[in-house]
Amino acid sequence: MKSCQQNQRDRQNVITVLLEAVRFWGIAIALSLVLCLSACDDLKAANPLTPPETIAFEQGLAEHLQRTGAKMYGAYWCPHCADQKALFGAAVKNLPYVECDPKGENPQPDLCQAKQIEGYPTWEIAGRLYPGTRSLLELATLSSYEAPSGSSPSPEATP
């Protein structure tokens, strides 16, 4: 016959095992969600159903921003920066992006500090700083972008 102390130890062992299982599965589920969400972003950026006029607008605006010296300051871990980049779809590769976090890819924290960037994303257009996520139409207006006829932003292209 087991003693009360032995029964209590057995219960504690069972609870410990259950807590470890919950922690393991919680981490596994969280990682699965992260992978799924990042795959969804990739699918959105490469969506073959995006109308050609929207692709032309996104591409043209990204190239215009680059040509005119505009910059988007951000950090790799910033969800608002990810949202801003997603608005450009596949044209994101042409976006004039400056990484402010020293741990990010091609970081330029000294430039961000010199520009007194206080939040992410922050746009620099024509020498002025515009903090926050901006719609493609707003960026087009701020940068004096004249879209070619027949191109237009996606209706979802708002933050």
Same domain, 41 and 80: no
Residue 148 lies inside a defined structural domain of this protein: no
Same domain, 38 and 78: no
pLDDT in tens, 57-112: 999 999 999 999 999 999 999 999 999 999 999 999 999 999 999 999 999 999 99
| CB 144, CB 65: distance < 8 Å | no
Give the pLDDT of residue 34: 57
Give the pLDDT of residue 158: 54
Range of the domain at 76: 52-142
Same domain, 121 and 136: yes
Same domain, 11 and 72: no
Same domain, 66 and 91: yes
Indicate if the pLDDT at residue 2 is higher than 70: no
pLDDT in tens, 8-34: 777 777 678 776 867 777 775 756 665
Which residues are CB-contacts of 142 (< 8 A; sequence separation ≥ 6)?
Answer: 123, 125, 126, 130, 134
Model confidence band, residue 38 (pLDDT cutoffs 50, 70, 90): low
Same domain, 36 and 64: no
Look at 11 and 132; give whichever has higher pLDDT.
Answer: 132
**Rounded mean pLDDT of 132-151?**
92
Look at 82 and 157; give whichever has higher pLDDT.
Answer: 82
Model confidence band, residue 42 (pLDDT cutoffs 50, 70, 90): very low
Same domain, 62 and 131: yes
Domain count along the chain? 2
Same domain, 39 and 62: no
Which residues are CB-contacts of 158 (< 8 A; sequence separation ≥ 6)?
Answer: 87, 135, 136, 137
